Chains A and B, each alone.
Chain A
Amino acid sequence: MSRPHLPCRHVIEFLADYVDGELSTEERSEFDRHLAVCPPCVAYLDGYRATIRLARETLLPGAEPEIEDVPEELVAAILRSRRR
């Protein structure tokens, strides 16, 4: 298998564009060729994607009870402020 053309530094630097689907088809192919022969970059990419999922699932509604009812005193304070 041939050595990857892109250096790891480039792949890691532009990983967000790869993950967020903002690379051109040609650039994406180059990334894929690199990843096919570079296990450390694959490990970094997998951890990067897992990090995004972990953050989202930890903080999103559903991960913990959402505040369904706004406290009465806050409702009252908001309505009082409006009248001023």
Chain B
Amino acid sequence: MVGEPARALGCDPMSRSEEASPEGDLAAERKLLARLRGGEEAAFAELVKRHGGRMLTVAQRMLRHHEDARDAVQEAFLSAFRALDRFEGNARLSTWLHRIVVNAALMKLRTQRRKPEASIDELLPTFLEDGHAAEPSTPWREGSDETLSRRETRDLVRRSIDRLPESYRTILILRDVEELDTEETASLLGVSVNAAKTRLHRARQALRAILDPHFRAGGPS
């Protein structure tokens, strides 16, 4: 699957922090593509330098170790080079490369998965026979999601995400951070759309449960 042409996506996941690219960028991209297809060595170096940093950022979000992220980026570029002739040009190069590096990172995760994952059942809400929650939720502090400017809050959230079993951590990142849609996420993970939805919901619930003691009103700040 790595290296297959991406569908045109509604957003450019690797350019969110930038302003909209001017049309000149598109023209420059077409020129670069033509040089790449012509086998020009300098064009390959340009592509890697232009997109490699962002691809490394994406790979590092998905993989826990820096070396794995570098390997995934290398694999992704080799897949992209092989698939250049199949790139249809209806998506931005950055969008296409984003999908390829996500796929390469997923392949890496699959080869690393050695043992069964821990259950997250204890992090999911439970209910009484009448359908009411066994432990009713209490509100979080006002502005609990506005405290991210504090480094310790970001560290807490990052550590909490890392506590999720890999398959839950991965789908949370693909859907809620990389903003892939459900169908594409399901396709990349090789599961049904319903299974992807269920897994994402459980991942969010588990992360909510891990964060709850830190953010509920009256809890530690």
Contact = CB atoms under 8 A, between A and B. Distances in A.
Interface in A36-84: 39-44, 46-48, 50-64, 66-70, 74-75, 77-79, 81-82
B2 interface: no
B108 interface: no
A46 B207 CA distance: 14
Interface stretch (B22-30, B86-94, B110-118, B134-142): B134-142
A82 B81 contact: yes
Contacts of B17: 60-62, 66
B136 A78 contact: no
A60 to B, nearest CB: 6
Contacts of B130: 7
Contacts of B78: 78, 81-82
B204 A48 contact: yes
B161 to A, nearest CB: 6
B139 A53 contact: no
By DSSP majority rule, is chain B's interface helix, strand, loop, or mixed?
helix
Interface stretch (B3-11, B53-61, B184-192): B53-61
Interface residues of B, number: 54
Given A58-B154, A75-B45, A66 B54 contact: yes
A55 B176 contact: yes
Given A8-B132, A69-B53, A59 B161 contact: yes
Contact of A51 (B139, B197, B211): B211
A12 interface: yes
B133 A12 contact: yes
Interface of B: 16-17, 41, 44-45, 48-49, 52-57, 60-61, 70, 73-74, 77-78, 81, 125, 127, 130-133, 136-140, 144-145, 148, 154, 157-158, 161, 172-173, 176-177, 197, 200-201, 204-205, 207-208, 211-212, 215-216
30 contacts: A7-B130, A7-B131, A9-B132, A10-B131, A43-B136, A43-B137, A43-B138, A47-B208, A47-B215, A50-B144, A51-B207, A51-B208, A54-B211, A55-B161, A56-B177, A58-B148, A59-B158, A60-B17, A61-B17, A61-B54, A64-B154, A67-B53, A70-B48, A70-B49, A74-B74, A78-B77, A79-B41, A81-B74, A82-B78, A82-B81
Given A47-B140, A59-B177, A66-B53, 14 more contacts: A9-B131, A15-B201, A39-B139, A43-B139, A46-B140, A51-B208, A55-B157, A58-B148, A67-B57, A67-B60, A69-B49, A69-B53, A70-B73, A78-B48
Closest 4 CB pairs of A and B: A7-B131, A70-B52, A40-B136, A16-B201
